[in-house]
A = this chain, B = another copy of it.
Amino acid sequence: MKTTPFSDLTALMRTGDIEAARVRIDREHPADIGSMINDLDPKEGWAVLELLTLDRQAETFGYLDHDVQVGLATVAPRAKLAAIVVQMNADERADLYNELADDQREALMPALVQAEREDIRKLAAYEEGTAGAIMTSDYATLTPDLTATEALTKLRREAPDKETIYRAYVVDDERKLIGSVRLQDIITAPARATVVDVMQTNTLAVNVDDDQEDVARKIGRYDVLALPVLDAEGRIVGIVTHDDALDVLEEETTDDFHRVGTVTNLSGRVGEATIWMLYRARIVWLVLLVFGNIFSGAGIAYFEDTITAYVSLVFFLPLLIDSGGNAGSQSATLMVRALATGDVRLSDWGSMIGRELMVALGLGLTMAFAVSFIGVYRGGPEIAMVVASSMILIVVVGSIIGMSLPFVLSRFNLDPATASAPLVTSIADASGVLIYFTIATTFLPFPG
Per-residue contact bits, chain A 298-335, to B (CB 8 Å; 1 contact, 0 not): 00110010011001101111110111011101101111
**Quick one: which of B256, B378, B421 contacts A261, CB cutoff 8 A?**
B421
Per-residue contact bits, chain A 343-374, to B (CB 8 Å; 1 contact, 0 not): 11000100010010011001100110011001
**How many residues on chain A are close to B (CB under 8 Å)?**
113
Would you call A285 an interface residue if the criterion is a C-beta within 8 Å of the partner chain's C-beta atoms?
yes
> CB distance B329 to A262 under 8 Å?
yes
> CB distance B221 to A31 under 8 Å?
yes
Assess A297 versus B271: contact at CB under 8 Å? Given A214-B1, A311-B307, A359-B282.
no
Would you call A191 an interface residue if the criterion is a C-beta within 8 Å of the partner chain's C-beta atoms?
no
Kindly report how many copies of this chain are found in the complex they form together: 2
CB neighbours (8 Å) of A222 from chain B are 29, 31
- In the assembled complex, the Cα of A286 lies from the Cα of B282 at a distance in Å of 27
CB neighbours (8 Å) of A152 from chain B are 187
Would you call A58 an interface residue if the criterion is a C-beta within 8 Å of the partner chain's C-beta atoms?
no
> CB distance B301 to A315 under 8 Å?
yes
Q: Is the interface of A mostly helix, strand, loop or mixed?
A: helix
Would you call A413 an interface residue if the criterion is a C-beta within 8 Å of the partner chain's C-beta atoms?
no
- In the assembled complex, the Cα of A321 lies from the Cα of B425 at a distance in Å of 12
> CB distance B329 to A378 under 8 Å?
no
Would you call A175 an interface residue if the criterion is a C-beta within 8 Å of the partner chain's C-beta atoms?
no
Which of A269, A336, A352 counts the most B-chain CB atoms under 10 A from its CB? A269
Which of A184, A245, A290, A294 counts the most B-chain CB atoms under 10 A from its CB? A290
Assess A334 versus B304: contact at CB under 8 Å? Given A29-B204, A250-B249, A293-B322.
no
> CB distance B166 to A183 under 8 Å?
yes
- In the assembled complex, the Cα of A207 lies from the Cα of B8 at a distance in Å of 26
Minimum C-beta distance from A280 to chain B (A):
10
Which A residues between 87 and 118 are near B, CB-CB below 8 angstroms? none
Would you call A165 an interface residue if the criterion is a C-beta within 8 Å of the partner chain's C-beta atoms?
yes
**Quick one: which of B219, B311, B318 contacts A317, CB cutoff 8 A?**
B318
CB neighbours (8 Å) of A258 from chain B are 333-334, 337
Ranked nearest first, the 6 interchain pairs of A and B with the lowest CB-CB distance are: A261-B333, A223-B243, A293-B319, A296-B318, A270-B338, A297-B315
Sample 22 A-B pairs with CB under 8 A, ordered by A number: A1-B217, A27-B202, A29-B204, A159-B188, A166-B166, A166-B183, A249-B249, A261-B329, A261-B330, A261-B334, A261-B421, A270-B335, A270-B338, A275-B359, A279-B363, A285-B326, A289-B322, A289-B323, A293-B319, A297-B315, A322-B425, A322-B426
